[in-house]
Structure 1
């Protein structure tokens, strides 16, 4: 499911104006991104939690040429699924 499909499902299920549903979905994801950018953690009970992991710089190697390169420090998003989501996916 992509963002457009999510907007369509929300607008049909709850009889919402498609533009309102689109604004809601966009604002929802923007709020998550902003919280993570501010160094916070986002937890959606029953679904999972989002956090940011900070990676220091390190010396890597270009696999094609074998030349060593310096990899800059970076932040990457990390998702940890909640117990309810795992149980839902693994039910029989």
Structure 2
């Protein structure tokens, strides 16, 4: 699915003009980008969490030569789907009786290699 497909879907389902639908979709994506750039977590109930993590620099190897190189420190974006989304993808229950277990799950944001 592309951004154009999302705009088309908003246009068809909400009834705004295509221009208005495009502006709304752009505003949502801009808000998400700005929030992530600040390093903040985005939590969308029933969908999942977007988390920005800082990775330290580390030593890696060139697989062809075996030469050691330093991999620079960087920020990475991770997505953790909610239980509701996981169930929807796997044919499980998706209604209100399914709790979103990732909502307050801050304990495992540690460094991963």
For 1:88, the equivalent position in structure 2 comes to: 88
Structure 2: gaps of 5 or more residues: 93-113
Aligned to 1:77: 77
Which residue of structure 1 lines up, in the alignment, with residue 10 of structure 2?
A: 10
RMSD, aligned α-carbons: 1.2
**Alignment partners' CA distance in 2, 1:86 and 1:11:** 27
Count of paired positions: 92
CA distance in 2, matches of 1:56, 1:65: 24
- What's the counterpart of residue 53 of structure 1? 53
4+ residue runs over 2 A deviation? none
1:67 aligns with 67
Task: Pick the structure with more strand per residue.
Answer: 1
Q: Which has the higher contact order (CA 8 A, sep 6+)?
A: 1
Deviates more, 1:14-23 or 1:51-60: 14-23
Distance in structure 1 (CA, Å) of the matches to 2:61 and 2:30: 35
5+ residue gaps, structure 1: none
Higher fraction of helix: 1
